[in-house]
Structure 1
Amino acid sequence: MKVILTGSTGFVGREVLEQCLKNPSVTTIVALSRRDIACPDPKLKVVILDNFLEYPDSIVREFDGAEACIWCLGKARVPDNDAARKICLEYTMAAAKKMSDVGATASSGQRQKFRFVYLSGGAAERDQTKPLWFMQDYRRIRGEVENQLLAHAEASGDAFEVCIMRPGLVLAKERNLVDMVKGLGPSVRVDKLAGAMIAKALDGGGSQIVENGEIES
């Protein structure tokens, strides 16, 4: 399978990339990135994208034959709500709409459903009117991304499938003292989260929203 990946230089995305490179079911990885990625593996195609709101034809051509995207682009710490909205919501939806238009073509000539696996978070709040005690604006923005992705998938019919991963705290693969404290709450190790996201990209189906307990199980 040909997979598109974003956020491949980040904590989770880097682990997803490493596992994709080792997975024989993933034949090609198209990594959308603002900078080059030093990796000689022939499975990896790095595509430099300066603006994640615009996809010129030269970029779209790289999507040809792709069947899934694993979206790990996003930041927990951003300077203001406008920046958070741009990175989390506008970037994600611009890509989702473009990728659902492109889709993939099977050998039979029939269009296949494109899978979009989105890394959200357990604190995201889809109810935009619910009172929140901490990180109110950011949590609502992440919840709005989920709402718009699900609405886009429903409107796209058989062309687009979305899966939203909602981990708690994401811990390093190696155990350490800091993670022992973080692990007291809902959490998952980064390698397990990456593996779950790749499995969703490869096989699809199941729940549209995958909570931390299901990822951890």
Structure 2
Amino acid sequence: MHLILTGATGLVGAGTLEVMLKTEAITRISILSRRPVAMVEGHEDKAKVIIHKDYKSYPTELLEQLKDAQGVVWAQGVSQNDVNKEEYFQITHDYPLAAAKAFSTLHPESPFTFVYVSGEGATQSPGITTPIFGRVKGQIEQALFDLGKQTPNLNVYNARPGAVDWRHHPEIHKFMPHQALYKKMLLAPIDAVYKSMMTPTRSLGKVLTELAMSQGKPLKGKDLQMEGRLLPNVAIRRLAGL
């Protein structure tokens, strides 16, 4: 099985890549990245990094390299605090939507599964206090869902992890981006009081990978939304066996 991954140098992407590399059923991983991915070293027989600068454009030569991929985990993202509003919308909304449209053309006769990593706080019903990330991620969740309904072979899942916890996933520690001290300090009380909001990277990577490997059929469960295609963190934890 051939899967695509973006955001491999980020926290969620690193956790997902580590799971993909250990999954025997996955024989090929195409990583779209703006820069080299250190975790791939020693795994070049399975994982290939494709340096890609413009995530709104997918030329024929790139799609040719991806033509037999069956799914993608779109883990690329950025904090709303690190870029301006226009850049945030482009990265969070325009990039995955352009990719979903392009990847749906890889093999129109068979399913392609697009797994978008959103986040708790995303909403399709924003209020005056809803932060930018909640509005924009809610918009792209809806746009991908609508595109999936309009495109017969494109199957979309929107996953909303909560507080992403890397502490017990040592395999990725030297590859993941530096985490601010305040984030580390926040995880302990959340874990103690609001455990349902925690999202361990290993468990998250496993769920995202399994979704991308699936045929993309709607999931079942009372904790799901968008006709079985939106997974709040409680659903992610349930599927991970937590």
Q: TM-score, normalised by structure 2?
A: 0.81
Moved more, 143-152 or 74-83: 74-83
- The corresponding residue for 2:181 is none
Distance 1:84 1:43 in 2: 32
Equivalenced residues, count: 207
- The corresponding residue for 1:194 is 205
Shift of 1:177: 5.2
- The corresponding residue for 2:112 is 114
* Contact 2:163–2:187 under 8 Å retained in 1: no
Give 1:89's match in structure 2, choosing from 77, 84, 93. 93
Q: What amino acid does structure 1 have at the position aligned with 2:135?
A: R
Shift of 1:133: 2.5
* Contact 1:172–1:179 under 8 Å retained in 2: no
Q: C-alpha deviations, 1:72-127, integer Å up to 9, x for none?
A: 001123322101101000111110000011137xxxxxx21100011001100112
Cα 1:34–1:174 change in 2 (3 A) is: same
Distance 2:3 2:129 in 1: 38
1:40 matched to 2:35? The reply is no
1:161 matched to 2:155? The reply is yes
Distance 2:130 2:147 in 1: 28
Higher relative contact order (CA 8 A, sep 6+): 2
Distance 1:58 1:191 in 2: 33
- 1:101 is paired with a residue of what secondary structure? coil
Give 1:54's match in structure 2, choosing from 33, 53, 57. 57
- 2:151 is paired with a residue of what secondary structure? helix
Distance 1:131 1:202 in 2: 36
Distance 1:84 1:54 in 2: 17
Cα 1:177–1:31 change in 2 (3 A) is: same
Distance 2:185 2:139 in 1: 34
Distance 1:56 1:165 in 2: 28
Percent identity for Structure 1 against Structure 2: 28
Q: What amino acid does structure 2 have at the position aligned with 1:156?
A: T
1:182 matched to 2:167? The reply is no
Moved more, 182-191 or 139-148: 182-191
Shift of 1:174: 2.1
1:208 matched to 2:190? The reply is no
Q: CA RMSD in A?
A: 1.6
Give 2:165's match in structure 1, choosing from 164, 167, 171. 171
Shift of 1:134: 4.6
* Contact 2:77–2:91 under 8 Å retained in 1: yes
5+ residue gaps, structure 1: 105-110
